[in-house]
Structure formats: C-alpha cells, structure tokens
Amino acid sequence: MGNILCGVDIGGTKLSVALVTDDGKVIDKCLEGDHTEKSECGLTDQIKFNIRKLLKRNNLTESDLCGIGIGCAGHIRFSDGTIITTSNLKGFKGYPLRREIQSGFEVPVILDNDANAQAFGEFRFGAGRGYEHMVFLTISSGIGAGIIINKSLYRGFTGTAGEFGHTIIEPGSDMMCTCGNKGCLMAVACGMALPHLFAKKLHEGKISKIELPADFDFSKVDGKLIKHGLDIDDPVSQEIVSEIGHYMGIGIYNIFQALNPQLIVLGGGLLSWGDIFLDKIRKTFYELARDMIFDPVEIKLTEIGPDAGVIGAASLSLGKC
Amino acid sequence: MGNILCGVDIGGTKLSVALVTDDGKVIDKCLEGDHTEKSECGLTDQIKFNIRKLLKRNNLTESDLCGIGIGCAGHIRFSDGTIITTSNLKGFKGYPLRREIQSGFEVPVILDNDANAQAFGEFRFGAGRGYEHMVFLTISSGIGAGIIINKSLYRGFTGTAGEFGHTIIEPGSDMMCTCGNKGCLMAVACGMALPHLFAKKLHEGKISKIELPADFDFSKVDGKLIKHGLDIDDPVSQEIVSEIGHYMGIGIYNIFQALNPQLIVLGGGLLSWGDIFLDKIRKTFYELARDMIFDPVEIKLTEIGPDAGVIGAASLSLGKC
C-alpha cells in the first residue's frame, strides 16, 4: 500500500472527499452539496465515485493509498462500521456504511464519528502533536468531542465515548437539546441555544443593537448573527457569548476532573467569536479548577484549520499505513 | 519474586495491611486506628513494620511477594508516587510515600489513589472481571472513582483522572464541597450533603420519624442515621435518599456519555441504603439515557466486599507479578 491518505467528511451541508499526505496536507479535494438528499445507496455511490475521480485526476491508483477514513456526524458503532443514528442524512439508521464503501476498494476503510476523526487529526497533525492524553471539542450548532488516551482514540464500548455535549450540567434548565433532555451542555452552550437565549434576553427587556425586521424569526439566530453583534458592540450578543462561555468553562472543567488530560483543543464555528468567548471559557475553568491543577493543563485552539473534517477523516487510516 | 500480593489501605479511620493471594483472597491482615495522628515518618515506619510483621507471622519472606500496593485517599501523582494532597492525614503534602516505603523493600511498591485501587481490584477480582472498559464509583462521605480503559487503569496526566465527584452538575446550588466549589456531584450526592439536606427538610416543615434530642447537632447526620430512618419508614430520610439517588443517576449518566463504558460498579457506605437508593439511581439514569443506549450498560454493586480497600491496593501490584 502507498502512503497517501483518503478522507471523507460527511457533513450537514457538504460532502468533502480529499487526498491527504501522510503529514496532513491536502493534495486535492472535491466538495458537493447535494448529498443530504440522496438515498443510502446514492450517497455510498457518490462517495465511491468521488474517491475514484480524485485518484484519477491526480494520476494515482488505489495502490497509492494507505486507506480511506470516513468521518460522519452521529452515533457510529465503530466495531462494525455502522451508522446507528445521524441527524444530517435521511435514513441511514443502522446502515453499514463502512462495509458498503469497503466493497468498492481493497484498501482498509474506517468509519468513525466526525469529532473523533477531527480529534485524531488534531493529535496527529495539529495542536495535539506529541501529547499523550487530550480531548478535542468542537463547538458549533452542536457539540462534538473526541478523546485521545495513550496516543490512541478512545471510543468506548459502542464507539460513542466523548459525548460531553449530552452530559447534564444544569438539571433545572428549561433549555431542550435534540436528544430530548433538558440542561445538557449542548442545550445550553452551543449554537442550538442561541435562538432561545436571544429571544429570552429581548423578552427580559434587553436592547440589542442588531437591527432586526419586525417579523424576525428568532429560530434564525445563529453564531454568525451573534458574531455580527459582537462586531458592533451589541450588549445582548456580549451577554450571550459570556453565558455560553461560562457553561463551556464548566463543561471543560468537568472534562478536566473526569479525564485529567494535558490538553483540551477547541474548534468549531463558535470559536470565530474570538477572545471574548475564549477568555470567558478559560476564566470559568480556572476559577473552578484553582488549586486542583497540579500539572499544567492547556486549552488551545485547533490548528488543522478549515480542512479539519477531511484531514481528520484521512488521519483515521494512519494506523493502516 | 513470589505470587503473594501485599495491599496497604490508608483510610480515614483505619490503616489496613494485608497479604492477598493472586486471585484476590485475604490471607492475613492487620488493622490499626492510630495512624492519622502520626507524622510522615511515623506512618511510613508503621506501614513497613506491619508488612514485615505480617510476613513473619505467616512464615513468609519478601521473596514470596509480587509487590506492595498502597491505596491512599487524596490526589496522588502516580508517576513519582507522591501524595499531593490528602484530607485524612496531617501533613503529607507533596510527600514521596512510594519512595519512602520502597527504601525498605526490594519488591516494587506502587502508590495510587484508593478509589483507583478499588476499581482495579473490582476489575481483577470482582464485578468487573472480563470487561474491557468500566468505571468504579464509591459513594460514602465523599465520592471516589477509578476508570478502567482497555483493561488497564486510566490515571490521566497527573494521576487524578476519575474525579467525577468534583464535576459540576448543579451550578446554581448553594451546597458547598470541601473543594471550595458549589454544586459538584460530591456537594449534592454523598454523605457530605446529608447534614445540609436533613436540616433543610426540617426547616421546610417536613416531619421526621427519627427521634432527635432538642439540641441535636445536624452536622452529625450521616449515612447510618438515614439508614435508620429508612428502616422506620421516615419520609424525610426517604426523600433525601431519593434526591441523592437522582443526582447520582445524573452523575452516572454523565459518565456514560463521556466514556461509554460497558459497566459501572458502585460501592461505598451509602449503598447500604439498599434498593430504594439503587432503584432511584437506575431510574434517573435510564430516563436520561433512553434511546441513546445502543449496547447494554450494566450498573452493578461491588463484589469484592468489606476488604475492598486492601484487596484493591494489593491488585495494583498484579502487573508486577
């Protein structure tokens, strides 16, 4: 087998397939946005087709690949490469995606949760290089995470370890997560919480500097709108970022107490909020952890950048090189 | 080296030293209750003396031992065998106990947190036999835990992983933990919470069937008093057990989401409350986990019994046999 990696990132808006060097650089990639409309077979064929297309246009063959890594949002049973549930795609409940892709290739195919893939990418090529134990958290519309223990991904029994987003940190909260529970980290501290928080602040009489139409649909409040609010010194946006930063600080403190990692790496869309967000996360974390930090714990930003999805997915096949 | 294990359990009320077979049976042990008054050197000498005494009275020599395992409550830096902090003993901050004990013996000495030791004992000899990933939780006056990942203890960077007791699950709580934070699992869901909860219930006008003197010191409310309350159908005790069970259910749910273990084993004094407690823990856990359990998760009681402290400590040396 060769030493080029292939990464497939099945996202909520884009299907990305890339060829990646074994030191984590994207050689070539293709992006498509119509994959969420496809059937199980349709998406499987699209992935196979795109991998072959990329190989061909780079004058490569399958024998140049180490393996194919696929990252997909949702609950993945790692042992048999099955998508148990995913909210991005239609169907795909209990779908053996790894087996279906593997049927088209000789090189090993690995399917994992997208946050696990990014965590491993970060560990191999990014902020986590050289660390033994680290946790990667992605904070965007939802919260995903991956755990590196003893320089390997820790996936747990089914393969769903690292679902810190579903840990309950505010049992009395009225904020509901897509999982059906109230008060889990994902309900209170990511993009999902923004519509509720924004509407609540206005309802409490807070004045926002963001100009909104009279019939504004609050379900449209997202990280970008809040970023715009920060840019114009909107006090409502600042309060929301502070509140979410506070909860993320608690979430990271809980991870610190549970797993005692050396490093926590943060990625995801909400980090574009900048220092006001990161400072609040760190402030809450250090206020809680205080004299219980016996060896330095670092909280860093992702370093593998905008191609984190495919680079992470590609990194999954590194053990197969 | 031989195949007999030596376990030392430095508890809050007793110092226990035992010889244990390599299948987890206590051969002989000695208990002393004066160790918490001793100096660092005094306790070190007491441990060395008791190990030698036990060997002698069983017609054994050091060459019959695999190693000596020591379990101690508190934060332990595993890499250098140092007690960082412990609330049971006077002094011992940054004390290199492993090195000091090792100076008296040729066989390897291992020092670890007492809950880690019990977790490993449970994995090798108790409810965790044959599992790959498990978490052990001990619920008594405080909460301790140990994590088994890939059939090994996972200790984290410093050695303090598994401090689920200090994870925040009720940020708005007024209940304070010894760590200085409010609303961590230990503040709301173990023996430490009982005085506050009991006084609060009476203050709210609840009537307890437990007969208490007029000048009763509520700081004396402990697990045994609540157990007595359960035995006489005291509604206040029942409410408290239900409340603590609910929070423990949340704590265990959070562990499930974070680590996706196959098994969670519960031990510690409060489990003597019986089914009313365990049923509430399980009820809350399953209500939260619902359709997110994709492979069975077991919640079991400890099986290594009253000698769990020394058996767990002894098990630490198993890797050295």
Q: What is the band of A2 on the pLDDT scale with cuts at 50, 70, 90?
A: confident
C-beta of residue A157 within 8 angstroms of C-beta of residue B262: yes
* The predicted structure's pLDDT at residue A90: 87
Report the share of chain B in percent with pLDDT over 70: 99
* The predicted structure's pLDDT at residue B43: 95
Query: A134-302 falls under which CATH superfamily?
Result: ATPase, nucleotide binding domain (3.30.420.40)
Q: Which residues of A touch B137 (CB under 8 A)?
A: none
Q: Is B75 on the interface with A (CB under 8 A)?
A: yes
**CB-CB under 8 Å, B84 with A159:** no
Phi, psi of A143 (to 5 degrees): -130, 125
pLDDT tens per residue, range A179-196: 999 999 999 999 999 999
pLDDT tens per residue, range B38-97: 999 999 999 999 999 999 999 999 999 999 999 999 999 999 999 999 988 888 999 999
Rounded mean pLDDT, A258-287: 97
Amino acid (1-letter code) at residue B53:
K
* The predicted structure's pLDDT at residue A13: 85
Inform me whether the pLDDT recorded for A173 exceeds 70: yes
* The predicted structure's pLDDT at residue B121: 97
Contacts of B223 (CB under 8 A, 6+ apart): B140, B141, B191, B194, B269, B270, B272, B273
* The predicted structure's pLDDT at residue A320: 66
* The predicted structure's pLDDT at residue A12: 83
Report the share of chain A in percent with pLDDT over 70: 99
The position carrying tokens 């797993």 is A259
* The predicted structure's pLDDT at residue B2: 78
Rounded mean pLDDT, A23-38: 93
Rounded mean pLDDT, A41-50: 96
CA-wise closest residue to B24 among B3, B10, B51: B3
Nearest CA to CA, how far is B35 from chain A (Å)? 26
In chain B, whose CA is at the least distance from the CA of A179? Answer: B292
C-beta of residue A285 within 8 angstroms of C-beta of residue A252: yes
Domain spanning B4-126+306-320: CATH 3.30.365.10: no
Which of B166, B168, B262 is facing A157, going by the closest CB pair?
B262
C-beta of residue A146 within 8 angstroms of C-beta of residue A309: no
Inform me whether the pLDDT recorded for B320 exceeds 70: no
**CB-CB under 8 Å, A161 with B292:** no
Inform me whether the pLDDT recorded for B321 exceeds 80: no
Which of A77, A171, A180 is facing B170, going by the closest CB pair?
A171
Q: Which of B248, B292, B293 to mutate to test the interface with A (most CBs of A within 10 A)?
A: B292
Nearest CA to CA, how far is B211 from chain A (Å)? 33
Report the share of chain B in percent with pLDDT over 90: 93
Rounded mean pLDDT, A106-114: 97
Task: Give me chain B's average pLDDT, please.
Answer: 95
* The predicted structure's pLDDT at residue A321: 59
Rounded mean pLDDT, A162-177: 96
Inform me whether the pLDDT recorded for A136 exceeds 80: yes
* The predicted structure's pLDDT at residue A203: 94
Q: What is the band of A17 on the pLDDT scale with cuts at 50, 70, 90?
A: very high
Rounded mean pLDDT, B242-267: 98
Inform me whether the pLDDT recorded for A95 exceeds 80: yes
The answer to which of A61-65, A211-215, B141-145 has the lowest mean pLDDT is: A211-215
Which of A156, A172, A181 is facing B261, going by the closest CB pair?
A156
A&B contacts, CB < 8 Å: 122
Listed by number, the residues of chain B in 92-151 with a beta carbon closer than 8 Å to a beta carbon of chain A are: 132-133, 149
Cite the residue boundaries of each domain of chain A with CATH code 3.30.420.40.
Answer: 4-126+306-320, 134-302
* The predicted structure's pLDDT at residue B232: 98
Give the SS3 label for residue B319.
helix
Determine the Cα–Cα distance for residues B261 and B285; give it in Å rounded to an integer.
14
* The predicted structure's pLDDT at residue A305: 84
**CB-CB under 8 Å, A162 with B258:** yes
Contacts of A247 (CB under 8 A, 6+ apart): A169, A170, A185, A188, A189
Q: Which residues of B touch A159 (CB under 8 A)?
A: 260
pLDDT tens per residue, range B190-234: 999 999 999 999 999 999 999 999 899 999 999 999 999 999 999
* The predicted structure's pLDDT at residue A151: 96
In chain A, whose CA is at the least distance from the CA of B298? Answer: A157
* The predicted structure's pLDDT at residue A306: 84
Which tokens belong to A300? 């860093």
Inform me whether the pLDDT recorded for B30 exceeds 70: yes
